[in-house]
A and B are shown apart, each in its own frame.
Chain A
C-alpha cells in the first residue's frame, strides 16, 4: 500500500473546513460506531470514538486512537489505511469499506485538531444575551447579512384574513373584516388578535394540528375498522387549548393524567392520546402482537411529538447516528407500558345523579313488590310457604371455596372479599386458569361456577373479551378437575342460560342482520356440557353486559374429598381472546345439585331452612313467582340499566400487584423477545429524577424539566411552522444529528426560553408571533428574493401556502353562511359520494349523511373512518389517522380541482351564498363585490370586477338567471386560488 503524503490527501471536494456534525460524525457513525460507539454490547478493543475523552485515550492495544493535529501519530489513521487484513479498519468481515473521501475526511479532521462538537439540540437552550432579542430582530439581522430586505406590512384586508385563518381556521366575514379595517386606533390589530385568541374557534383550529400528531380517528382501523368512541378526548383537546392550559400540563395529562394525585375525570379523558393507536379485530390474530405494535407506535409518537427524536430508528437496532441505543427504545417503552387500557365511562354529575335516582328507584320497587302480590298479604304468605316447600326439594346448600393458589397463562386474578375472583391484564387466544383448593369438606358432589358483571371489565363483563368477539363475554372451552394429578371425572354439567345458549354464539352476535345471525347460530351448539367434550371449539359462554349473572354446575361421577385438595382447570380458547373476568366457585355435598338459577344466599336458605334468611327467600320468591311476572318486570329491567356515562378510551396504571414487564425485542420483532429492560430514558439526555419512581408520570414530567433540551424547542418550532409553512428547523419530527440545522438558531432558542418563561402558554406564544412585523409582512414576492432565497427560508416576505383541507371546507361554509359553530360531540357525516365507503372497504359501510346543522359543522367534527377517510379531506392531504403526522404535505392536483368544482358540499355552499347575496344586495356590482369578499375578504380590483361582470353577462346570455346564475358566480369565486390560500 502506497502511503500518500498528507498534503495530497486533501481532495478538492474537501477544501472547506470540516464541520464535525455535518461532515465527520456521519462517517464515524456509519463506519465505526457499531464497534466503537455507545453500544456496550458490540464494543471492540475497549475503544469509543463517539466520546472525545475516550477517542483521545488509548484502546486495548495501548495505542492512542486520535492525536489531535497529528494524523500520522494517530492509530486510527494507521488502521484505516492499513493493508493488513488483521489490522485494517473497518475489518473485512464487517463488509464495511471506507471510501477515499471518507478516509480523507477523517484525516483532515484530525489534522484540523479533531474537535468534537456537541449537537445543538442536545444542550438546553440558553437565554439570549442580546438586549434586542426578539423575532423581528433575529429575522432582520439575518436578512441584512444576506443582503435582503424585509417586506412592508401587508394591507389590512390581507392582515385580517391571515390572522383570522391562522388563529381560528376561519376567514372573517366582510363585516368582521371591515370592523378591523375601519378601526383607526393603534391598538386595533392587538384588539383583534386578543379577541381571536379568546374565541372558541381558536381551540378547534389548533386541536386539529395536535390531533394529526395524536393520530386521532373514530374507528379502530385494520380490516373490520369498527367505530370507537374517543371523541371526548378530541373535545378535551379543544377545551384545553381554549383554556390556554399550559403546554406542560396539557402534555403531562395526556401521557399520565390517570396517575396524577386526585385525578379528575378530565385528567383521565386526556390519556386518550395514546389510546388513539389502532385495534386489530380480525379473527384469528394474536392480540398481544398487535398490542406490541401499538406500544411501538406509542414510543415513536412520543419521540416525534415531544422530543424531536426519531425513536423508530432504534426499534430494530441501535441508532446509526443519534446517541440512542436499541435498548433505549424498550426502556422508554417500559416507562409507558405499565397501563391497562379500559373504556372509561365519564362520571358527570348528571350521570351520578341518574345512578342515584336508579338506585333509589330499585330500592323503591323492591320495597313495593310485596304490596303488589295479587290477593294481598294472606295470599302471598300462602303461596310463599308453598313455594318454599317446593323449592326446598330442588335447592342444595353451596359453600363458597377460595383458591389456595391461582395460576394462569396470562390474565391476572385477584380474590375479592365476597369470594369472587376478578381478572385483569393481558389475555390471549388460549388462556388456562389453574385454581387449587383445599377445604375440610368431604363428599363433594358438584362444583358451581357463578359468573357476574363487574364495572372494571370490558362492557361490564363477566368476560375479559375486548375485541372481535362479543365484548365483555367469555368462552369456556373446557372445564376439568384433578386430584393429585389424576383426572377427577365430571359426568355432566348444566347452566342457567341453557335456553339461550344456542342463540348466543360469537358469530351470531357479530352478524349485522337477523337472518345472518340466525343462520350462524344454527351452526353450533354451545352449552355447559360442551366444556366436557375435549373439543376446544365448543364450550359455555355468556355474553357481556351490565347485570349479567349466570351459573354452571359441574357434577362429579363420585363424591370428592376436598381435604385432599382439588385442582380445577379452565380453558378459554377461541379465534379471539375470551377468558372469564369475574367469577366465584362453590361446592355442595347435596345429592340433587342443579343449576337452579336461584341466588346463592336464597338457595342456601331454602336448603337449610334457615329462618333468619327469610327476607332473602321472600325476595327471590317475589321476583320469580309466575303471578308476579308483570309486577316484578320493572324491577328486573331496572337492574340491567345502569347509566354509565359517555364512554371514552383511557389509560389506567396497573396495580403494583400486577406490573407488566417489558422486554427488548431482537430486530424489533414480536416473536423475538429478549431480556427484560428497566424503565429509563436514553442516557445522553438528563436522567429521570432519582427520588421518583421510574414510571409514566415521572417520564411525562421529565419532558418538561428545565434541563431537558428538546421539548420547548420542538414545541415552538411546530407552532412556528403553522404560521410560516416551514419550521425554523425544517424537520419538525427530527432534531437529531441528521436534521438540517435551524435557519435561525438564536431565534429558536429565544422562543423556547420565552415559552418556558411564559409558563408554557401557547396563546402567549401565538400572540408573540402574530404581533411580530415578520408575521405581518406582505406576501408579494420582492423581485430580489426569487433567486437568492427561493424557499423564503429567511422570510423576506410572508409565505403563501395552500390551506389545510379542514380550513378550505370550513372557509367555504362560513363564506356561504352555512357553517354551524356547534362544538363537540360525536363525529358527524357531511355529504360525500356513497362509493367512498361502499367500495373498497371491508364490508360495505353506509355513510349516513347527517341532517340539519350537523351537515355543516366544522371539519374537525367529521367522522374519521380510517380505512375510508372523508374523501375531500384526503384529497387535500389530511391524514387518515393511521400514523402520527408531524407535518402535512401541501400538494396540488386535478383531483382537488374536481372536488372544489363538483363536490356536492361545495355546490351547497355556492347555492347558499347565491341566495344570501341576492337577498342582501340588488345590483350586480354590489353582489359581485360581496361574493368576492365572502371568499377572499378583500374587495375586487377593477379588472377583477370587470372579468366577473363579463362572466355574469355570458351566463345571462346562456339563459341563466336568478339563483342558478349567482350560484355559478359563487362557484367560480370559491374556486379561486386565493380562496384556498394562506394570504
Chain B
C-alpha cells in the first residue's frame, strides 16, 4: 500500500478502490461457497487490508512500533531527571523577578520561594547520566536511554496539557499520536487491535481523548484493555455459552449472512462475516495474552511482579512487551499519579517505587529479545513542576517551561542527554524541545515526514504537529 499523505476520502468501506476490489472478489467467489470466500476475502477486522492494512511510511523507518509510558500528573523533573545544586543552595529564596515575567502558574503566586530538590542524584553507566536516587533501575539502563531535559509545552493545566502531549493540540477532537501511527502504518496483528491502552493508578485528566481517534475514523483509536472484568469489553461469552456453542452460533450466523451476501451482492456483508471470525479469534488470543502464567519467574522478578493477577503498572509493562510481540503496533500505558502539589517527597518516592523497576525492566527485556532495535520506547508526562514551592515546604505547582522525557530504542542515541536547563531548572538554556518537536521526531523515527502525514478535515490538511515542529536531529543515532 502507498504511504499516507493527505487522503480526504480514502477511508471507510465506501471508498471506490476498496469496494471495487471487493466487488471483484465477490464476482469471482460466487459459487465457491463460504469456505472459499473466507479464504479469498482479505481480513477487514484488525489488519491485512482496507483502512488498517499495513503500509509503507514516507522513508525508511528506524522503528516500527511504539510503547509509550505516559506518566500523567506531571512528574517532577527536579526530583527525578534534572539535578540542580544551585536550586538547593537558594532554597527558601525568592526567584529572580525577571524570570517571572509573563509566567503563567496554575495555583501559586509565581513569586514564591524556591525549593531545593528533595533527593540526591548520582551518575550512572558509562555515559555518566545524572539521575535521582529514587529511580535506581532507570539509572541501571542509563546507557540505553536518551534523556531530553528541555521539553516544553504550551498548557499549564492537566487536561489540556495531556491532550496536547498526546494529540498535538490542547482542544478536544484531535487524533492521538497512536491513532496517527496506526493511520500511517496500519496494523500488523490479525488477532489483536493495533493500538492498545493499559491504565494503572487513577484515570487521567484527559480521559479517553488521550488515546482517541479524533477526526480520524474510529478504528484508529486506542482500545483499552481493562483491569477489571473482561480485558476487552464483551470478550467473554454470556453465561451458559461455551466455545462450542459460540462456534455453532457463528457458523449459523455466517451461513445466513452468506445467503444474504449472494443475494444482495453487498461486499459489506462479507466484511461483517470476517469481523465475526476475528471476534472469535480474539476471544482466545486476548485471554492468552493477559495470562502471564507462562512467564518464567526471573522475568516476573525483573519487572517486580509478585502476583501475576495483580493489576498495576508493572503488569502493564510486561503486557506491553507481550502485545508488541504479537504484532500490536502501538501500546500506551497511562499512570496518573504524579501531581505532587503537596507531599512531594513521599509522593515521588511512592511513584518511583511503583514505576521505576518495571519501566527499566521493559527496556531490558526488549533489548534481550532483540525487539528494542525497532521499537520506540517513550517515558514522560504532560509538563514539569515549579522550582518554586507550593504550600509549606513539600510541594510544587505546574511548570510548562521545561521538563524531562526519556526515549529508548530504534534510531535513538543511547546514553545521551539532550538539552540543558538553567541553574534553577526553570528555563531551557539550549533550544527547547516543544511537544511538536518531540512528535515530529517520533514520527520521523517511524518513517514519516510529519508535514506530509495529514488528513483533510473541514478544508484543512490536519497534522499531528499542526503548523509547527522540527525533528530534533541531536537525539537521532
Contacts and interface: CB of A to CB of B under 8 A. Distances in A.
Interface of A: 221-223, 225, 278, 280, 282-286, 293, 300, 304, 310, 312-313, 319, 321-322, 536, 575, 725-726, 730, 733-734, 736, 738, 779-781, 783, 786-787, 790-791, 800-802, 833-836, 838-844, 866-869, 871, 874-875, 877, 880, 882-883, 889-899, 901-904, 907, 941, 943-944, 947-948, 950-951, 954-955, 958, 960, 964, 968, 971-972, 975-978, 981
B16 A835 contact: no
Given A223-B206, A791-B19, A839-B224, A781 B266 contact: yes
A786 B241 CA distance: 40
Looking at A787, A841, A944, which has the most chain B CB atoms within 10 Å of its CB? Answer: A841
Looking at A733, A835, A838, which has the most chain B CB atoms within 10 Å of its CB? Answer: A835
B425 to A, nearest CB: 20
Interface in B1-35: 9, 11-16, 19-20, 23, 27
In which size bucket is the chain B interface? 35 or more
Given A575-B107, A894-B282, A972-B256, 11 more contacts: A790-B19, A833-B230, A841-B207, A842-B204, A843-B203, A882-B209, A893-B275, A895-B234, A904-B238, A972-B249, A976-B253
A907 B233 contact: no
A960 B249 CA distance: 13
Contacts of B263: 780
List the 5 closest A-B pairs by CB distance, nearest first.
A284-B106, A867-B207, A883-B173, A897-B279, A310-B459
B199 A839 contact: yes
Contacts of A838: 228
Nearest to A871: B233
Contact of B12 (A787, A841, A889, A981): A889
Contacts of B257: 976-978
Contact of A882 (B160, B173, B266): B173
A898 B284 CA distance: 12
B334 interface: yes
Nearest to A278: B172
B20 A787 contact: yes
B235 A972 contact: no
Nearest to B156: A284
A954 B255 CA distance: 15
Interface in B281-307: 282-283
B218 A889 contact: yes
A802 B268 contact: yes
Contacts of A907: 238
B85 interface: no
16 contacts: A280-B159, A285-B157, A312-B458, A575-B107, A726-B14, A786-B27, A835-B226, A840-B199, A843-B203, A883-B172, A893-B45, A897-B278, A907-B238, A950-B252, A971-B238, A977-B260
A733 B233 contact: no
Contacts of A322: 459
Contacts of B336: 842
Contacts of A840: 197, 199, 203-204, 207-208, 224, 334
Interface string B160-177: 100000000001110000
B199 A313 contact: no
Nearest to B228: A835
B260 A892 contact: no
Given A786-B27, A894-B45, A977-B260, A313 B208 contact: no
Nearest to B213: A889
B55 interface: no
A889 B212 CA distance: 14
A283 B107 contact: yes
B227 interface: yes
Contact of A839 (B203, B215, B238): B203
Contacts of A968: 241, 245, 249
A834 B226 CA distance: 10
Looking at B157, B278, B336, which has the most chain A CB atoms within 10 Å of its CB? Answer: B157
A868 B211 CA distance: 12
Contacts of B226: 833, 835, 839
B205 interface: yes
B44 interface: yes
Nearest to A890: B12
B259 interface: yes
Contacts of B234: 833, 895, 898-899, 901-903
Contacts of A223: 157-159, 205-207
Contacts of A868: 207-208
B23 A971 contact: no
A894 B44 CA distance: 9
Dominant SS at the A interface? loop
Nearest to A780: B264
A976 B27 CA distance: 22
B72 to A, nearest CB: 10
B203 A951 contact: no
Nearest to A781: B265
Contacts of A801: 14, 268
B123 interface: no
Interface in B99-145: 104-107, 109
A954 B263 CA distance: 26
Interface string B322-340: 0000000000001010000
A832 to B, nearest CB: 8
Nearest to B162: A223
B459 A738 contact: yes
Contact of B266 (A282, A800, A964, A972): A800
Contacts of B203: 839-844
Contacts of B11: 889
A575 B205 contact: no
Contact of B233 (A725, A835, A944): A835
A834 B228 contact: yes
A836 B266 contact: no
A225 B204 CA distance: 12
A890 B218 CA distance: 9
A144 B124 CA distance: 77
A844 B228 CA distance: 13
A892 B230 contact: no
B61 interface: no
B315 interface: no
A390 B57 CA distance: 88
Contacts of B228: 834-835, 838-839
A790 B259 contact: no
A897 B276 contact: yes
A625 B307 CA distance: 66
B157 A284 contact: yes
Nearest to A905: B234
Contacts of B207: 223, 225, 840-842, 866-868
Contacts of A944: 256, 259
B413 interface: no
A675 B101 CA distance: 23
B129 to A, nearest CB: 33
B350 interface: no
Contacts of B83: none
Contacts of B240: 964
Contacts of A943: 259
A734 B279 contact: no
Contacts of B215: 883
Nearest to A312: B458
Given A802-B268, A971-B249, A730 B9 contact: yes
Contacts of A975: 249, 253, 276
B105 to A, nearest CB: 8
B219 interface: yes
B357 to A, nearest CB: 23
B82 to A, nearest CB: 23
Given A310-B458, A867-B209, A902 B236 contact: yes
Nearest to B210: A840
Contact of B223 (A293, A781, A895, A950): A895
A978 B273 CA distance: 12
B278 A791 contact: no
A964 B459 CA distance: 53
